[in-house]
Amino acid sequence: MLKIGITGNIGSGKTTISKMFEVLGIPVFYADAEAKKVMTTDPVLVAAIKKAFGDAAYLPDGSLDRKYIANIVFNNDEELAKLNALTHPAVFRAFDNWVADIKNAPYVMKEAALLFESASYKMCDYSLLVTAPLDLRIQRVTRRDHITPAEVEAREAKQFTEAKKRELADYLIENDEMHLIIPQVLQLHHAFLQLASGG
C-alpha cells in the first residue's frame, strides 16, 4: 500500500487539501486527531504519561486533563519534547493498524502537522507539502482561531521552517491564492495512482 504523508505549517490549508483527496476516494489518517485519541485509549501511552507527568494528568473519568498538561508543556520545550516522544510512537502504531485495515484503496495519506519534526515521513513512501506565504497563513489563522498574529508566530516557531520542509518534501501544493488548487490536487492524484500501480 502506497503511503503519502501530507503536511504544511500552520494555516497552510493541509486539512482542506486532505479533504479534497478524501473526495477522490483516498483514505486519510489525521495524525493530530489520532494523537488526542490515543492519549486516552492506548494503555501503554496512558501509563507513560502518568509516569512522566503524574496521575493528575488524567481526570477521574479517564480523560486527559488538557489544561494541566498544557500548563506544563506550553512554554517548556523540554517537557513538550518529552510528551511528543511518548505520543508519537503510539500514533505510529495506530497508523500501522489503520493501514492494515484498509482494503481496495490505491494509496492512503497521513496528514500530520509534525510529519518531518516527528520523523514519521520516514514511514511514508512520499511526502507532500502544502505551502503558503507566512503573511497569508497568519491572516487565515487569526481569522479561524481568533488569536493574535504574535500567537500564530509562536506556534509557527515550534515547527520546522517552511524552507526546511521544502527541502525534505517530494511534492508541493501551492495554496497561495495565486495558483488554482483543484488542478494541482488532480495532477498529484494521477501521479500517485501511477506510482501505486507500479508505473
pLDDT for res 154: 87
pLDDT tops 90 at residue 67? yes
Residue linked to cell 501509563: 47
pTM (2 decimals)?
A: 0.90
Q: Where are the domains of the chain?
A: 1-27+106-199, 33-101
Q: Residue 68 and residue 57: Cα distance in Å, rounded?
A: 6
Considering the chain, what is the average pLDDT of its residues? Answer: 94
CA distances from 184 to 79, 135, 173, 178, 179 (A): 39, 22, 6, 12, 8
64 strand-pairing partners: 58
pLDDT tops 90 at residue 105? yes
pLDDT tops 70 at residue 199? no
At 134-164, the pLDDT tens digits run 999 999 999 999 999 998 998 888 889 999 9
Q: Residue 175 and residue 12: Cα distance in Å, rounded?
A: 7
pLDDT tops 70 at residue 74? yes
Q: Domain 1-27+106-199 falls in which CATH fold?
A: Rossmann fold (3.40.50)
The percentage of residues in the chain with a pLDDT greater than 90, rounded to a whole number, is: 85
pLDDT for res 198: 85
pLDDT for res 15: 94
